[in-house]
Amino acid sequence: MTSNEERATTLVKALRAGVEGDKAALGAMLTDDVRAWTPALSTSSLTELIDELERRDSAFTDFDLETVPLDVGGDFACVEWTVEMTHSGRIALTGEETIEPSGTRVTLHGVTVAEFEADRICSLRQYWDEYAVLAQLPR
């Protein structure tokens, strides 16, 4: 039986793998039918999730991820996180409006909740405020 601490450790590793684009690590920690939801995407398989991660634009680079695992019971793990990143690429907004790269370092706070089947993640939900990033960028 997997402990809460082990689940939280797996979730932290999965978050880092997602930020780093480590598909092999994600494949080892997530089920093939993993469901994922964030303010920016919704997927219903590992293949879809990896495809979405590969399509991620290059608007931000130089990620620093800090995590705080929270004590949760049952088949769940929860991690609060903070990511700092550099605005290094163009961001396309609605219509023809864009935000050009500024080199600004921005901070985003969020939470990820994961459900497990045995020792692998079968469901992920992430929560953050998308507009918090835009508010930190010069316009």
- Asked if 46 and 31 touch (Cβ cutoff 8 Å), the reply is yes
For tokens 């620093």, the residue is 64
Strands 105-117, 60-70: pairing kind: unpaired
Cα 37 from Cα 69, distance rounded (Å): 19
pLDDT at residue 2, rounded to an integer = 66
Q: Which two tokens stand for residue 86?
A: 């550099």
pTM over the 0.75 mark = yes
Cα 26 from Cα 136, distance rounded (Å): 30
pLDDT at residue 59, rounded to an integer = 87
Domains of the chain, CATH where assigned:
4-135 (3.10.450.50)
Closest CA to 62 of 123, 19, 96, 27: 19
Q: What percentage of residues in the chain have a pLDDT greater than 70? A: 99
Number of neighbours of residue 121 by Cβ within 10 angstroms: 24
> What are the residue ranges in the chain where pLDDT is below 70?
1-2
